[in-house]
Amino acid sequence: MLFALICWPLCGMVLSQEPETMQLLQHRLALEGPQEQRLKAAEPINWVHFPKVGSSFLNAIVHLPGVCPLAVNLTIGEQSLGPCFLQIWTDVMCSQLCDQEKFRCKTDLRMPHPPIDDYWAEKGTFMGFFRDPDQRILSGYHDDMDNLASVNFRDFLHRYDEEPLAQTANCTSEEGAPKIPILEFAESWKGGMTYQLVVEHPTTQTLDPDRLTMTRADAQKAAQRVRDGFAFVGITEEWSLSVCLFHKMFGGSCLQSDFANTRPSAAGKSAHVAYNTSELMGWHDDIDEVVYAAALDVFRTNLVLFNVSHSTCQECYSRGVAHNI
């Protein structure tokens, strides 16, 4: 009797609320399809940006639904923000335009191309593009505007330590300076993707020629992180397919800005030029090749898993080229 007296108001409430709660939950699950759930699981997104793999991927990320609500009309790039667009984005725009619970703004200007901060805490939130290591290095060597191979590059990097803000206005001051020999440059970039994946407390910048050299064991650890820790893996050589896969996985539509400097042809070919590797005279980055092989593996598995191919991506590609014709 006492039980009934207590239970009458309480149990009645629970019983009458339960179906409603269930309905609400089901309703929410229906609103949140697999793409929304996948995106939520990857937030706050950590963009891992290896030099010379293609920065227009940043546009694809920030234009995902809800990620950077105030950047929906902005295409981040040289055309809109000038040659130092990445510095400007990092320093002022990211934290103002993005929801920081959805996108990690890395505001340390002294560390361009930062390594992963804390793999175990951030596992599952990484997104990045990967590029054939020798092609990445050749692209870095031949980037005349940034002149990453300049003989003064060490000094240039140290200016980031001293006056990081000045670099948002003067990031290409090495343009036109003479370059170091290509093999010396290649050695200093060797294992660079590995470095950004495993060195969590860097004391030197990623592009510093005096940074730690990476071993085969580092590369294997990095490759494992690519397999287990990344919510999205794209491939520079397969830009169009990667963009299409990205939207199949996380939603949002394919936009022209996703393709900024890679304009897909109607057939979906990526327009990245392949450099002639004979210039490297047989030299080869056998550290980052391990990481790249893992990235290709993950990428190809996801193409199958999400039914992504040039023929299933025609609609995505047609948006990508719409304004380029």
Ligand X SMILES: *[C@@H]1O[C@H](CO)[C@@H](O)[C@H](O)[C@H]1NC(C)=O
User: Which residues bind to ligand X, rule: CB under 6 A?
Assistant: 70, 72-73, 166, 169-170, 173, 276, 278, 307, 312
**Distance from the first to the final alpha carbon of the chain:** 80
CA 46 to chain CA centroid, nearest Å: 7
Contacts of residue 149, defined as CB under 8 A and 6 or more positions apart, other chains included, come to 140, 141, 179, 180, 182, 185
DSSP secondary structure of 259-286? GTTT---TT----PPPP-GGGGTT---T
Least Å distance, CB 163 to ligand X, is: 9
Nearer to ligand X, 105 or 177 (CB): 177
Nearer to ligand X, 24 or 165 (CB): 165
CA 60 to chain CA centroid, nearest Å: 9
Least Å distance, CB 72 to ligand X, is: 5
Nearer to ligand X, 173 or 220 (CB): 173
Nearer to ligand X, 79 or 278 (CB): 278
CB 124 within 8 A of CB 41: yes
Least Å distance, CB 290 to ligand X, is: 25
Q: Which residue is nearest to ligand X (CB)?
A: 173
CA atoms of 101 and 104, how far apart (whole Å): 7
Nearer to ligand X, 35 or 173 (CB): 173
Least Å distance, CB 244 to ligand X, is: 12
Nearer to ligand X, 16 or 79 (CB): 79
Nearer to ligand X, 24 or 92 (CB): 92
Residue 166 CA neighbour count, 13 Å, CB half: 9
Least Å distance, CB 175 to ligand X, is: 10
Least Å distance, CB 25 to ligand X, is: 28
Contacts of residue 249, defined as CB under 8 A and 6 or more positions apart, other chains included, come to 35, 38, 232, 302, 306
Token digits for 134? 């020798």
CA atoms of 172 and 142, how far apart (whole Å): 14
Nearer to ligand X, 173 or 256 (CB): 173
Least Å distance, CB 277 to ligand X, is: 8
Beta strands 126-130 and 230-235, pairing class = parallel
Nearest to 103 by CA among 185, 44, 161, 56: 44
Least Å distance, CB 70 to ligand X, is: 5
Least Å distance, CB 143 to ligand X, is: 17
Question: How many other CB atoms are there within 10 angstroms of residue 244's CB atom?
Answer: 27
Burial status of residue 323 (CB atoms within 10 A of its CB: 0-12, 13-18, 19 or more): exposed
Nearer to ligand X, 170 or 204 (CB): 170
